[in-house]
Amino acid sequence: MTAYTKSAHDSHEQTAAHIRRIVDERIRPNAERIDEEGRFPKENLQALADEGWNSILIPKEYDGLGLDYTAFSLAAEEIGKGCPSTSLIYVMHVGAAQTVAYYGTEDQKQRWLKPVRKGAIATHSMSEKATGGHTWFNLSQAKRDGLDYVLDLEKSFTTSGGHADFYVLQTQTPGAQKPSDLSYFIVDGKDPGISAGPWEAHGVRGNQSGPLKLDNVKVPREDLLLGENKAVEIALNGVDPLYLLGIGSAWIGVAQEALAIAINRVKRTIHSDFNKSLADYQVIRQQLANAKISLSALKPWQLSLAEKYNRYEAEGRLLGELWYEGTEFKIHATEIANQVVSIAMDVTGGYGYKKGVVERLYRDVRAGLVLAPSNHLARELVGKDLVGLPPELFTAGGE
């Protein structure tokens, strides 16, 4: 299929409408089954790849769409409406691919980014059991193999584990002085030494975010990204800002979907004894209104944050300057999304509680609170910054 090309006349809303059509026709219809079977939604990713949406930020010279951060945030939101599992995979994919676009050599971009247009999936692997959500620290370490490297380690969670065509994987290199001396490697997903553990989870059951084991996986020096001990700098300035905007936006989509379903249900559900619909009860309307107000308040923030990313990039400034605002947005968007989906569950009564779409979204939406940086941890960092305390997480760890 041909790639979407944004014409000079297309507004962001028109761009969103293009992706909404794919979500309506090819992604949402699979969501129930993907959850039930806990199956990786390969066909959803391919539906996005068919029109180039998986290459949304990748520059045109590497066959990407070359769109901006506003388009990315709207795409994440639309996909979030149709299938939260797919939206999480999508955000991790765009973030990992973009890490190569920002920091890769010409050779890395040619080898790893061009296949993305055809459907190659990227992801980002950092979490380790030993350091939990402190993803700026890893204790695992690559070994040297001449000028190349060998990875013999285990990651605790990796979205798209076992399905990704390449991993942007974070670990130490020999000689690291402290746990935050980390490096990124681009690891070929086809390497036979890679095995993904099972993903049996409360929600987002399609996204395969289980453990990932690397057993003597050789990585040529050409696939070290930027240089040794550069991962935290790359994460703060490039990768994190993308995830923060992407996850927050996707979760706005999840909440919008739940609210739309709830409104539809309360209008259709009639109590025959008094011949009243659920929408006739003030308590129900009040809750729906609260959900709507909370979501409406988030939307301008989403768009202005994305526009700031566009502006900062155009001015040659680091996206890391927006790290705290992105983090605040992620915290607020995922928490509002949880509140809205709880309202959807409440106003739809026993039918919402039964196995089905509201119950599924209620499980899926929880993931947003946990995803790195987990909201408690993220709030700590925002709070420390407010009172002038060092964040420790990027700077300490053995110093």
Ligand X SMILES: Cc1cc2nc3c(=O)[nH]c(=O)nc-3n(C[C@H](O)[C@H](O)[C@H](O)COP(=O)(O)OP(=O)(O)OC[C@H]3O[C@@H](n4cnc5c(N)ncnc54)[C@H](O)[C@@H]3O)c2cc1C
Report the residue number, 58 or 331, with the smaller CB distance to ligand X: 331
Report the residue number, 89 or 345, with the smaller CB distance to ligand X: 89
Rule CB under 6 A: is residue 204 a binding residue for ligand X?
Answer: yes
Stretch that binds ligand X, among 73-81, 215-223, 332-340, 365-373 (CB under 6 A): 365-373
**In whole angstroms, what is the distance from residue 39 CA to residue 32 CA?**
11
Q: Which of 144, 136, 151, 131 is nearest to 213 (CA)?
A: 151
Rule CB under 6 A: is residue 374 a binding residue for ligand X?
Answer: yes
Report the residue number, 22 or 371, with the smaller CB distance to ligand X: 371
Report the residue number, 354 or 376, with the smaller CB distance to ligand X: 376
Rule CB under 6 A: is residue 371 a binding residue for ligand X?
Answer: yes
Rule CB under 6 A: is residue 299 a binding residue for ligand X?
Answer: no
Helix (H, G, I), strand (E, B) or coil at 354: coil
Rule CB under 6 A: is residue 123 a binding residue for ligand X?
Answer: yes
Shortest reach from residue 366's CB to ligand X, in Å = 9
Shortest reach from residue 120's CB to ligand X, in Å = 16
Member of 63, 215, 346, 380 binding ligand X (CB under 6 A): 380
Stretch that binds ligand X, among 181-189, 232-240, 250-258, 368-376 (CB under 6 A): 368-376
Rule CB under 6 A: is residue 226 a binding residue for ligand X?
Answer: no
Rule CB under 6 A: is residue 235 a binding residue for ligand X?
Answer: no
Member of 29, 59, 132, 390 binding ligand X (CB under 6 A): 132
Rule CB under 6 A: is residue 158 a binding residue for ligand X?
Answer: yes
DSSP 51: T
Site string for ligand X, 61-100 (x = CB under 6 A): -------------------------------x--------
Q: In degrees to the nearest 10, what's the CA dihedral of 283, 286, 288, 291?
A: -130
Shortest reach from residue 88's CB to ligand X, in Å = 6
Per-residue exposure over 89-109, b if at least 16 CB sit within 10 Å of its own CB, e if not: bbbbbbbbbbbbbbbbeeebb
Q: Which helix (H) or strand (E) holds 319?
A: none
**In whole angstroms, what is the distance from residue 214 CA to residue 222 CA?**
19
**In whole angstroms, what is the distance from residue 194 CA to residue 217 CA?**
7
**In whole angstroms, what is the distance from residue 68 CA to residue 57 CA?**
6
# residues near ligand X by CB under 6 A: 22
Report the residue number, 245 or 278, with the smaller CB distance to ligand X: 245
For CA atoms 193, 44, 85, 244, give the dihedral sign.
positive
Member of 15, 54, 86, 159 binding ligand X (CB under 6 A): 159
- The number of residues making up the chain comes to 399
- Provide the phi-psi class of 74: left if phi over 0, else alpha when psi is between -120 and 50, else beta: alpha
Rule CB under 6 A: is residue 326 a binding residue for ligand X?
Answer: no
* Alpha helices per DSSP H over the chain: 12-22, 28-37, 42-50, 69-82, 84-103, 106-108, 231-234, 240-268, 282-314, 323-347, 349-353, 357-365, 367-370, 375-386
Helix (H, G, I), strand (E, B) or coil at 151: strand
Stretch that binds ligand X, among 107-115, 117-125, 146-154, 289-297 (CB under 6 A): 117-125
Report the residue number, 114 or 384, with the smaller CB distance to ligand X: 384
The vertex-338 CA angle with 263 and 23, nearest 5°, equals 60
Question: Euclidean distance between the first and final Cα of the chain, in Å?
Answer: 53
Rule CB under 6 A: is residue 370 a binding residue for ligand X?
Answer: yes
Member of 20, 28, 81, 124 binding ligand X (CB under 6 A): 124
Report the residue number, 173 or 334, with the smaller CB distance to ligand X: 334
Stretch that binds ligand X, among 132-140, 267-275, 285-293, 354-362 (CB under 6 A): 132-140
Shortest reach from residue 24's CB to ligand X, in Å = 25
The tokens of 101 are what? 């676009």
Member of 127, 237, 294, 348 binding ligand X (CB under 6 A): 127
- Provide the phi-psi class of 318: left if phi over 0, else alpha when psi is between -120 and 50, else beta: beta
DSSP 141: B
Report the residue number, 292 or 363, with the smaller CB distance to ligand X: 363
Rule CB under 6 A: is residue 180 a binding residue for ligand X?
Answer: no
Q: Which residues bind ligand X (CB under 6 A)?
A: 92, 123-127, 132-133, 135, 157-159, 204, 209, 367, 370-372, 374, 376-377, 380
